Amino acid sequence: MGLLDRNVALVTGAGSGIGRAVALGLAAEGAAVVVGDYGVSVDGRDPSSAPAEAVVREIEKTGGRAVASAENVATMAGGKAMVDAALKSFGDLHIVVCCAGILRERMIFNMSEDEWDAVIAVHLKGHFSVMRPASAHMREKKAGCMITFTSTAGLEGSPGQPNYAAAKEGIVGLTRSVALGMAKYGVRCNCISPTADTRMTQRLPGERRALATATPPEAIAPVVAFLASDRAAHITGQVVGVRGDEVTLFSHPAPLRTLTGDGAWTASALADVWDRALGQDRLRRLDAMGIQWPPKREG
């Protein structure tokens, strides 16, 4: 008996990396799986159905049930087609896991509109395109679970990935909105921030890549399987970090300090008191990257 017996799951980006590991892990726990993957390169080009079909064969070899859906989550039609594949093939949909993603790195002052749009479309819209039709089905059934994927780039920032960081932080907001909106229907939504060795992390520089490559994608799958199961039926709206055998619960944003004036503020009055009354919540990545802030003034 598995934790997910008689469940049907849809996993996007399931042809490689974390998505593949998640699809295999859910199948091992008894779920029938729609293996969704457009089959593109890491930068979103050259689609192929081969990656999804290969994962389906892996699942079937171990006695599991799976179908491939080589659709593009960057389109509403693609997202709906993946949901429809679950309903047509297995008659229901209980679990949605959104792992699909691409990268188009560039500093903000060099990034093109196409590089921005492509990454936002796959990551952020790619969550919405699947969650929109899935949530309608789950609302009707008054049951279901959706699991989204953010990243450290979204939670803490990433200097050379403004498009990716924006999409991943947007996914956190989407997660909280869906958790709130679907709670009265008994549907939950949680978010995972993974650290794992994938084709996307192979593009990271030096030390950041070393941290990621120390963790296999398979380490993420048990956390997803637990959150998707009835054992986690009471958990929603959470952001969970996973790195190897470490599982971290992130806090929700909350005010640190509040400054109240006697009347309307002026810019000069704020300048007089800001540093001692409010200060800053320092960007952790500044220290991790060895960047001095404030910068030294010349002369």
- How many structural domains is the chain composed of? 1
> What tens digit of pLDDT does each residue of 69-88 get?
999 999 999 999 999 999 99
**What is the spatial distance between Cα 163 and Cα 123, in angstroms, rounded to a whole number?**
10
CA distances from 296 to 159, 292, 293, 299 (A): 20, 8, 8, 9
Q: Could you give the angle at the alpha carbon of 233 between the alpha carbons of 230 and 235, nearest 5°? A: 140
Q: Which of 29, 24, 32, 84 is closest to 58 using CA atoms?
A: 24
Whether 36 is in a domain gets the answer yes
CB 44 within 8 A of CB 114: no
Whether 295 is in a domain gets the answer no
Flag whether pLDDT at 53 surpasses 90. Answer: yes
Residue 281: both structure tokens together: 């919540």
Whether 278 is in a domain gets the answer no
pTM: 0.91
Whether 2 is in a domain gets the answer no
Whether 24 is in a domain gets the answer yes
Whether 195 is in a domain gets the answer yes
List the catalytic residues: 164
For the chain, helix (H) and strand (E) counts, in that order, are 11, 8
Whether 140 is in a domain gets the answer yes
Task: Please give the residue range of the domain that contains residue 233.
Answer: 8-249
Give the residue-averaged pLDDT of 227-254: 96
Whether 276 is in a domain gets the answer no
pLDDT band at 297 (very low <50, low <70, confident <90, very high): confident
CATH number at 146 reads 3.40.50.720
Cis peptide, bond prior to residue 217, ω within 30 of zero: no
pLDDT top residue among 282 and 134 = 134
At residue 225, the pLDDT reads: 98
